[in-house]
Amino acid sequence: MGGPPERPAPARRGRRRAAALPRSFYARDVLEVARDCIGALLVHEGPEGTVSGRIVEAEAYRGPEDRAAHSFGGRRTPRTEVMFGTPGHAYVFFVYGMHWHVNLVTGAPGQPQAVLLRAVEPLQGVELMARRRRMDARRRELTNGPGKLCQAFGIDRALYGADLCQPPLYLAPPPPGSPAPRVATSPRIGVDYAGEWRERPWRFFDADSPYVLRARRRS
């Protein structure tokens, strides 16, 4: 699987910021996007300040054919509606009655695929993340899970459907000179209900990152 098919969109004038990845990055098969997310930056420019981190763990959900996906069987509800639209938008949902999870809508319109972001390595705004999480900024538990990263990044229902190709919430390429991640795969986490689909190696992660959960690691 290759990297982004074209250069990212240029940053706006004014204060310096990372350039958002273009829509063509998302308009590809979900497995390609999930793999290429590893090492990219997640950025949220919110009212409290800007936070960013390097994505180190993500999972692919392949739409109607995938028993682990919210859109399995073409299920279209108010919650999943954004998955059926234009790629490059945020699918944010509430889980376990206490956590938000953020997904990247991918593929062609009408093909409800998405990438769940599971973990990031904090880079910018770490103290703000720590305040939101009410913990020491040096702890790996700050952002090593999908609910944890959403809390740390201030991602909630208000960002459902956000255009990921522009602020406030977007992905950006890694800084120049950043080492390439050592990407490994494993079955996805927490999808035991999905039958044979639970064994698909559609969890992608940086094998060298301390922020990656150890569950079901496999190279």
d(CA 214, CA 207): 10
d(CA 205, CA 217): 9
For 91-136, write each residue's pLDDT tens digit. Answer: 999 987 789 999 999 999 998 999 999 999 999 999 999 999 999 9
For 169-211, write each residue's pLDDT tens digit. Answer: 999 999 888 889 999 999 987 776 777 777 789 899 999 999 9
CB 25 within 8 A of CB 105: no
What pTM was estimated for this model as a whole? 0.86
CATH number of the 23-58+78-174 domain: 3.10.300.10
d(CA 90, CA 79): 12
d(CA 71, CA 77): 9
Return the domain boundaries, the chain: 23-58+78-174
